[in-house]
């Protein structure tokens, strides 16, 4: 009946309950469970740029702003990637314990839009 099940992961109690339900269904039907975490790195970049006007004058030159944007983008992308991986590691461990095949999915963007894309792309 079920071949592949998608569960959204965000480390909340609701997400944990959904993960456990997906794993139980996956085990019962010998289905693959895909865990998906969506993060919004671009949102953080936009907010950082919105705050630039409040920076001290010495940081207002375009060259300095460009460098600060690059540093911030790198830190946010790496940081959110590490957080996402920690959710995936926990999910994968639970699947292994339950002997359920799993797939890890990390996506960037708005959570509802990316989850719908993940469903469409399978």
CA–CA distance, 11 with 87 (Å, rounded to integer)? 6
- What single-letter DSSP state applies at residue 70? H
Query: What is the reported pLDDT for 1?
Result: 80
Specify the pTM.
0.78
Write out pLDDT tens, residues 20-69: 999 999 999 999 999 999 988 766 666 667 676 777 777 777 887 777 77
Q: Please give the Cα distance from 60 to 24 (Å, whole number).
A: 54
Average pLDDT over all residues of the chain: 88
Which one is the CATH code of 4-121: 3.40.1190.20, 3.40.50.920, 3.40.50.620, 3.40.50.970?
A: 3.40.50.620
Task: Tell me the H-state helices in 1-122.
Answer: 13-29, 41-51, 62-98, 111-121
- Show me where the domains of the chain are located: 4-121
**Per-residue pLDDT at 107:** 93
């Amino acid at each position: 009946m079920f071949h592949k099940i998608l569960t959204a992961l965000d480390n909340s109690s609701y997400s944990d309950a959904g993960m456990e339900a997906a794993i139980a269904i996956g085990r019962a039907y010998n289905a693959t469970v895909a865990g998906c975490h969506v993060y919004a790195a671009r949102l953080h970049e936009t907010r950082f740029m919105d705050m630039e006007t409040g920076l001290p004058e010495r940081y207002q030159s375009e060259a300095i702003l460009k460098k600060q944007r690059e540093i911030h983008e790198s830190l946010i992308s790496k940081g959110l990637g590490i957080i996402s991986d920690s959710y995936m590691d926990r999910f994968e461990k639970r699947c292994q314990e339950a002997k359920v095949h799993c797939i890890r999915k990390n996506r960037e963007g708005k959570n509802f839009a990316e989850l719908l894309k993940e469903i469409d792309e399978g």
